[in-house]
């Protein structure tokens, strides 16, 4: 899947990032992580060092764009397992966010908005 030249240069990038305090987990070169011995599901969800870096980076940017303080993002990303990182990287928008906000779907919102403008409803406090 990866050319060995590409892999070693990516590893150098990862190593530099780890030293400079990037998001990727500290893991020494060559050490196989404990997840490898857990069941099939966990094993399949493992991220290698490059994937971890990329996923962490992507999730961090998404969290930041959703209003998380830049200074806090790294720690939040670091709290997640490989499978969770992968999930957020691919599907953050589809993930439920528990908070009681009524997530009105687009069409319903549009209808309400039109009715509001027409003076039929008074659902919104301010437009």
Partner 1 sequence: MVELEPGTASLELVDTPFYPQEQFQCGPAVLATALTSSGIAVEPDDLVERVYLPGRQGSLQVEMLGATRMSGRIPYRVDGRLQAVRDELAAGRPVVVLQNLGVAAIPKWHYAVVVGIDTDRGEIVLRSGVDKRRVSSISTFLRTWRRSNYWGFVVLRPDVLPTNVDRERYLAAVADMQKVGQREAAATAWNAALETWPGDPVSLFGLGNLELAAGGNVEAEDHFRAVIALNTESVAARNNLAIALARQSLFDEARREIALALDNNDDPTLEAELRDTEELVESLAARQY
- The smaller minimum CB distance to partner 1, of residues 98 and 119, is found at 98
Enumerate residues 54-93 that contact partner 1 by CB under 8 A.
Answer: 63, 65-69, 72, 75-76, 78-82, 84, 87-88, 92
* Cβ at position 33, least distance to partner 1 in Å: 7
- How many Cβ atoms sit within 10 Å of the Cβ of residue 124? 12
User: Phi and psi at residue 47, in whole multiples of 5°?
Assistant: -110, 135
Per rule CB under 8 A, is residue 30 in the interface with partner 1? Answer: yes
10 Å CB burial of residue 43 (0-12, 13-18, 19+) is exposed
- The smaller minimum CB distance to partner 1, of residues 66 and 110, is found at 66
User: Phi and psi at residue 34, in whole multiples of 5°?
Assistant: -65, -30
Q: Which two tokens stand for residue 41?
A: 């599901």
Per rule CB under 8 A, is residue 20 in the interface with partner 1? Answer: no
Number of residues that bind partner 1 (CB under 8 A): 49
Separation of alpha carbons 1 and 49, rounded Å: 15
**What are the residues binding partner 1 (CB under 8 A)?**
7, 25-26, 28-39, 41-42, 46, 48, 63, 65-69, 72, 75-76, 78-82, 84, 87-88, 92, 95-105, 108
């Amino acid at each position: 899947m990866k050319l060995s030249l590409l892999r070693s240069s990516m590893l150098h990038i990862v190593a530099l990032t780890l030293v400079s305090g990037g998001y990727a987990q500290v893991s020494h070169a060559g050490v196989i992580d404990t997840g490898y011995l857990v069941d099939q599901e966990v094993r399949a969800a493992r991220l290698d060092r490059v994937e971890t870096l990329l996923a962490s980076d992507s999730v961090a940017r998404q969290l930041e764009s959703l209003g998380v303080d830049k200074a806090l993002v790294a720690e939040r990303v670091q709290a997640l397992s490989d499978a969770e990182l992968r999930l957020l990287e691919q599907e953050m928008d589809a993930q439920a966010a528990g908070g009681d906000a009524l997530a009105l779907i687009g069409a319903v919102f549009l209808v309400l908005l039109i009715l509001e403008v027409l003076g039929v409803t008074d659902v919104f406090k301010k437009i």
